[in-house]
Amino acid sequence: MLTECVEALDVADTVGAAVLVDCTLGLGGHSEALLERYPDARLFGLDRDPEALVRSRARLARFGDRFEAVHAVYDELPDVLAERGVKRVHGVLFDLGVSSMQLDMRERGFAYAYDAPLDMRMDQTAPLTAYEVVNTYPVGDLARILRDYGEERFAKRVAQAIVAERERAPIERTGVLAELVRSAIPAATRRTGGHPAKRAFQALRIEVNGELEVLGRAVPRAVDLLAVGGRVAVLSYHSLEDRWVKRVFAAGAESTAPRGLPIAPPGTEPVLRLLTRGAQEPTAEELAANPRAASAKFRVAERVRTGSVRARLDA
């Protein structure tokens, strides 16, 4: 949804040089399109994956000092901007989940379709790997992760199968884990819904990288850094991600005044305006060109006045 992302963060009317942030830089495709579309803008690209930073810096070197790549997790955005003397931004983009680069690098262990070491770290300097989760977490914690992060109906069965197998020998490879998950799921269920290990691998990746905890901190912080008129756009690929984004946007788009008051007291007015009705989904043309976008949900909100969304969520 490249076109939608670029058009959502429209800074053409910004007075002075606009500041944009790509919180999930990856290979730099979104950042490149934004820098081309808005030639006066300055853009910071954040990514926790050192390999992505190397590749995106090479790709975007032609933009000179209009672009800076930063090794950081996106909930660290306030610190990243403060270190550079930036107080307000005009557009923030999140493209959540695992990147195509990470999926396609077989040795990273993200994909159930390839046999590789169990890793799944977006930042390979981080200590926790999928191997540690699979081989050391108690059965109850494994079942919770599979249920909550993967929405796996047979979470308990899969968790029990993992624990039984690791008692014989450590589970070291994605191929072994994928087959173990497939065998633990009833045959009738395996006939539909894609690869049986898809949900388990998603759940493990989210746990290894702390994705939902990071997202829970990052989106409110990003909204609170927006200048009035600035926009935040989020592409999510998981129902838990989308529900959280929806909650943050709704908190900003509603008045906090008690119901029934004829006039909203100062400070209670909405601070956001929703620019998408519900969540926008990929077109048929997009899906034909990029099947990995099938689960994408796109939401955009615009800052209409000052006020803290984080404070509203905490209230």
pLDDT in tens, 13-36: 776 789 999 999 999 999 999 999
- Dihedral class, residue 153 (left if φ above 0, else alpha if ψ from -120 to 50, else beta): alpha
Bridge partners, 89 (sequence order): 226
pLDDT at residue number 266: 82
pLDDT tens readout for residues 139-149: 999 999 999 99
Separation in Å, CA 301 to CA 87, 210, 213? 19, 25, 21
Residue 299 clears pLDDT 90, i.e. is over it: yes
What is the CB neighbour count within 10 angstroms for residue 288? 9
Is 242 a known ligand-binding residue? no
Sign, Cα dihedral of 19, 23, 27, 33: negative
pTM exceeds 0.85, yes or no? yes
pLDDT at residue number 290: 78
pLDDT tens readout for residues 92-140: 999 998 877 787 787 888 888 889 999 999 998 999 999 999 999 999 9
Bridge partners, 68 (sequence order): 44
Is 47 a known ligand-binding residue? yes
Residue 42 is encoded by which pair of tokens?
């300055």
Is 202 a known ligand-binding residue? no
pLDDT band of residue 210 (cuts 50, 70, 90) is: very high
Residue 253 clears pLDDT 80, i.e. is over it: yes
Is 29 a known ligand-binding residue? yes
Q: Can you list the domains of the chain with their CATH numbers? A: 2-101+211-314 (3.40.50.150), 104-209 (1.10.150.170)
Mean pLDDT score across all residues of the chain: 91
Q: Are 99 and 159 in contact (CB under 8 A)?
A: no
pLDDT at residue number 41: 94
- H or E segment to which residue 183 belongs: helix 174-184
pLDDT band of residue 187 (cuts 50, 70, 90) is: confident
C-alpha closest to that of 31 among 71, 65, 63, 76: 63
Is 194 a known ligand-binding residue? no
Q: Tell me how far apart the alpha carbons of residues 71 and 126 are, in angstroms, rounded to a whole number.
A: 13
Q: Are 7 and 93 in contact (CB under 8 A)?
A: no
Sequence-distant (6+) residues with CB within 8 A of 173 are: 115, 116, 117, 118
Residue 12 clears pLDDT 80, i.e. is over it: no
Who wins on pLDDT, 126 or 267? 126
